[in-house]
Amino acid sequence: MQLVERSHQRSDIVCYLPKYEVVVCTECHYVLNKSPSIGRHLISTHLWSKAEATAVDQQFNDKAIRSPNHPNCTWILPNH
């Protein structure tokens, strides 16, 4: 059995898609609203510490982010 160690410092968990101007959580494929919702998602869903979540959140401060009008709307994450 192979154990995979999961770090809470995976800042690549959140991915910006410039084509759609959205930020996506790659772990749950949720489209996130802009700051501070990105950090809030990491804290509430992935149990990150506030400091780590805020650091990731702030990486996207200068990005154009289109927030989905409906929180439950489903977006399709393109495969790479």
- The C-alpha atoms of residue 58 and residue 46 are separated, in whole angstroms, by 17
**Binding-site string for Zn ion from residue 3 to residue 42, where x marks contact by CB under 5 A and - marks none:** ----------------------x-xx--------------
Query: CA torsion angle for 55, 37, 43, 51 (degrees, to 10)?
Result: 20
| Residue 23 or 25 having the CB closest to Zn ion | 25
Smallest gap, in angstroms, from Cβ of residue 1 to Zn ion? 26
d(CA 45, CA 1): 27
> Interface with Zn ion by CB under 5 A: which range of 1-9, 44-52, 53-61, 63-71?
44-52
